[in-house]
């Protein structure tokens, strides 16, 4: 049995840990509110631009823009995975890692090469020795910005147009609530007009373009790609803060349970020590 001094040291350590986890939970809750507001503000724009792109792109020939044109056969693909830069967020990153590994295992025979690009330090640390990492985008998931999305989108578009890969997929944690996040895996290049907004079945082909069709597509198609990556960054950020808040809340509760258990064990040890001393005193008195 441990001594009272050892129990006191454990209790002091647990209480310090509990203070840290409680503080981290409060910080994550504050950041989560900001991330949720940014995501909610962007959701309306995301729906509108998806409707616009689906109607316009479905009304023109897919060869009118390089990011619309599909290729066959598909030999080289790129997977862009979004994770967090920091840890202590439960299974948030592990779910993405497992999804990518499972997908590669199932489809490895279908392609000549499968490249990876990592947006987030945790994903890069996990995969840089397991697979061929094409690009690593550092310090972009903590504070999402549209400029970062443009940088990522330009790299993806340039690689696709140059023929480095025939399809581009993205995987991330889709945010629903702090307790609910779903790992998604979807194709973003080439852009499929019919898959952008499946609910919009009324596609008109009688459009008068102002400015000209080519000029309009040169602006809208890349802008849609950039915003889609930006919205993914926002969802990934909200999911990270939600997962960390949940993990820290669980850690705080576990620390409370351990404090209660070790307090009980310390009290029992103290009682046993007092009982032993009383027995020694009584035994000494009887001997006299």
pLDDT per residue as tens, the chain (288 positions): 678 888 889 999 999 999 999 999 899 888 888 888 888 888 778 777 777 777 776 677 777 778 888 888 888 899 999 999 888 888 888 888 998 888 888 888 888 888 899 998 998 999 988 877 888 998 888 788 889 999 999 999 999 988 888 899 999 988 887 777 888 888 888 887 666 655 444 555 566 767 777 777 788 888 888 988 999 999 888 888 888 898 999 999 999 999 999 999 888 888 888 888 888 888 877 776
Q: Are residue 97 and residue 199 in the same domain, yes or no? A: yes
191: in domain? yes
Residue 69 lies in a domain: yes
**Same-domain pairing of 201 and 281:** no
Q: Is the peptide bond before 190 cis (omega within 30 degrees of 0)?
A: yes
Full domain range(s) for residue 10? 4-25+250-287
Any domain includes 264 = yes
**What pLDDT is recorded for position 205?**
58
Based on the fold, state whether residues 150 and 128 are members of the same structural domain: yes
Clarify whether residues 152 and 200 are in a common domain.
yes
Q: Are residues 8 and 59 in the same domain?
A: no
Q: Quote the pLDDT of residue 152.
A: 92
Does residue 283 sit within a domain? yes
Residues 271 and 239 grouped into a single domain: no
Same domain flag for 200 and 117: yes
Flag whether 30 is in a domain: no
Query: Can you give the three-state secondary structure of the chain, one letter per residue?
Result: CCCHHHHHHHHHHHHHHHHHHHHHHHHHHHHHHHHHHHHHHHHHHHHHHHHHHHHHHCCCCHHHCCCCCCCCCCCEEEEEEECCCCCCCCCHHHHHHHHHHHHHHHHHHHCCEEEEEEECHHHHHHHCCCCCEEEEECCCCCCCCHHHHHHHHHHHHHHHHCCCCCEEEEEEEEEEECCEEEEEEEEEECCCHHHHCCCCCCCCCCCCCCCCHHHHHHHHHHHHHHHHHHHHHHHHHHHHHHHHHHHHHHHHHHHHHHHHHHHHHHHHHHHHHHHHHHHHHHHHHHHC
Same domain, 17 and 118: no
Residue 254: CATH number of its domain? 1.10.287.80
151 shares its domain with 164: yes
Has residue 63 been placed in a domain?
Answer: yes
Let me know whether 197 and 266 are in one domain: no
Kindly state whether residues 47 and 172 are assigned to the same domain. Answer: yes
Question: 168 with 80: CB under 8 angstroms?
Answer: yes
Task: Name the domain count of the chain.
Answer: 2
| CATH number where 133 lies | 3.40.1380.10
Instruction: Classify residue 86: in a domain, yes or no.
Output: yes
> Within this chain, do residues 167 and 257 fall inside the same structural domain, yes or no?
no
Q: What is the pLDDT of residue 195?
A: 64
Contact yes or no for 120/131 (Cβ under 8 A): no
pLDDT on residue 190: 85
| Per-residue confidence (pLDDT) for residue 194, from 0 to 100 | 66
């Amino acid at each position: 049995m441990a001594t009272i001094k050892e129990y006191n040291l454990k209790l002091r350590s647990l209480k310090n840990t509990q203070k840290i986890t409680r503080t981290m939970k409060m910080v994550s809750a504050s950041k989560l509110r900001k991330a949720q507001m940014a995501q909610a503000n962007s959701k309306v724009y995301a729906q509108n631009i998806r409707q616009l792109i689906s109607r316009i792109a479905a009304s023109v020939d897919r060869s009118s823009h390089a990011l619309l044109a599909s290729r066959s056969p598909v030999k080289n693909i790129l997977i862009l995975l979004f994770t967090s830069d920091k840890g202590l967020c439960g299974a948030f990153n592990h779910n993405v890692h497992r999804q990518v590994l499972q997908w590669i295992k199932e489809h490895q025979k279908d392609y000549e090469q499968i490249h990876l690009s990592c947006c987030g330090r945790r994903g890069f640390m996990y995969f840089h020795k397991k697979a061929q990492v094409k690009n690593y985008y550092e310090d972009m998931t903590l504070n999402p910005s549209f400029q970062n999305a443009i940088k990522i989108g330009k790299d993806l578009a340039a690689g696709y147009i140059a023929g480095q890969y025939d399809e581009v997929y993205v995987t991330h944690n889709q945010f629903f609530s702090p307790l609910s996040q779903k790992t998604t895996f979807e194709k973003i290049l080439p852009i499929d007009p019919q898959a952008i907004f499946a609910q919009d079945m009324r596609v008109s082909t009688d459009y008068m373009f102002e400015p000209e069709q080519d000029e309009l597509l040169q602006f809208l198609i890349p802008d849609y790609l950039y915003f889609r990556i930006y919205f993914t960054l926002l969802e990934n950020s909200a999911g990270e803060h939600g997962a960390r808040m949940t993990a820290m809340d669980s850690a705080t509760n576990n620390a409370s349970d351990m404090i209660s258990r070790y307090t009980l064990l310390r009290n029992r040890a103290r009682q046993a020590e007092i009982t032993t001393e009383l027995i020694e005193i009584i035994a000494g008195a009887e001997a006299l």
